[in-house]
Amino acid sequence: MVGGQAVMEGVLMRSQESYAVAVRRPNGDIVVKKAPWQTRTKKFKLAGLPLLRGGVILIEALLLGIKALTFSGNIAMEEEREKNGTAPAKKSIWEHIWLALTLLFSFAVGLALFFYVPLLIADLFNFSSAIVFNIVDGLLRLFFFLAYIYLISRWKEIRRVFEYHGAEHKSVYAFEEKKGLTIDETRPFTTLHPRCGTSFLFVVMLTSIVVFMFLGKPDTIGERLLRLAFVPVIGGISYEFIRLSDKAAKNPIVRLFMLPGLWLQKITTREPDDSQIEVALVALRCALDMDPRAGDSQIEILTE
């Protein structure tokens, strides 16, 4: 399998052996960062076990995504540096520490917003039934998630990222259908893919309702924090479902369960133009060790 994610003016793609981030420079050229990469689930048997591998892959995707976003952000700043006539400065150790702290803070806010705040609100209703409590808690969590997706989709910059997200999906489809990785053969595919991270997060929200029901109604701070410890378990179960649904995507019953996630992708993906499809194809072709050219743009490849 191949997969990836959208970044600022670009796309990250990863294969079984390497990953590549292709980003459109302000001058129209494409710069690619390529490096060897292999998931720990292939290197270590324990990490590849069902239910465990989902959490491992999720962490890997998060770390790789951060690297890709940092790289794309640096490329996006080139135009500003050119206007000011300044050279790119090497990051100090304090800047790396600040970035790490920012990421940790963002991760903590995400957990609080989507897992802890809904719990506190549900607790205000004083439900005596643990089942009713967890259903309301889950619905609130789903509401926060959908509201968040909708609100960020209103930003112009995020809409550009969602267009690259659509280009990433189209490119993956072209590869899976054994089409030529060209703009013309990639363009007709849909932007909605069953293995998308949006669908995964939607499944996480639904799976959490079922898992938390087994934990009952939390009455103490310790019991509430225990729920956060089950987030990797929820991620592992959700990953297995997404993996299964991708393999059985043509089954009508399976497709019925996939529909909400696909509908949600109508917000998180947009129809890309040819220049964006070209960037996604360049990233994919590089990740597959193919000739990177997918259009007329000049390409610069950086390796680690």
In tens digits, what is the pLDDT along the chain, a chain of 304 residues? 788 999 999 999 999 899 999 999 988 999 999 999 988 888 888 888 888 888 888 888 888 888 898 888 888 777 666 666 655 556 667 767 877 788 788 888 888 888 889 988 999 998 889 999 999 999 999 999 999 999 999 888 899 999 999 999 999 999 999 999 999 999 999 999 988 888 888 998 899 999 999 988 988 888 888 888 888 888 889 988 888 877 776 777 777 778 888 899 999 999 999 999 999 999 999 999 999 998 889 999 988 7
Query: Dihedral sign, CA of 167, 168, 169, 175?
Result: positive
Give ∠ CA 52-168-66 in degrees, rounded to 5: 55
> Any idea where the domains of the chain sit in the sequence?
3-81+103-303
Integer angstrom CA distances of residue 35 from 16, 83, 93, 283, 288: 12, 30, 23, 12, 11
The structure tokens 């007329």 sit at 296
The pLDDT value recorded for residue 84 is 63
> Parallel, antiparallel, or unpaired: how do β-strands 3-7 and 30-36 relate?
unpaired
The pLDDT value recorded for residue 251 is 75
Instruction: State CA 277 to chain mean position distance.
Output: 18
Strand order in the sheet with 10-14: 3-7, 10-14, 18-24, 30-36, 299-303
Element (H, E) at 64: helix 52-76
Burial pattern 59-79, b for ≥16 Cβ within 10 A else e, equals ebbeebbeebbebbebbbeee
By the 8 A CB rule, do 192 and 262 touch?
yes
Q: Tell me the sheet residues that pair with 186.
A: none
By the 8 A CB rule, do 248 and 254 touch?
yes
The pLDDT value recorded for residue 245 is 78
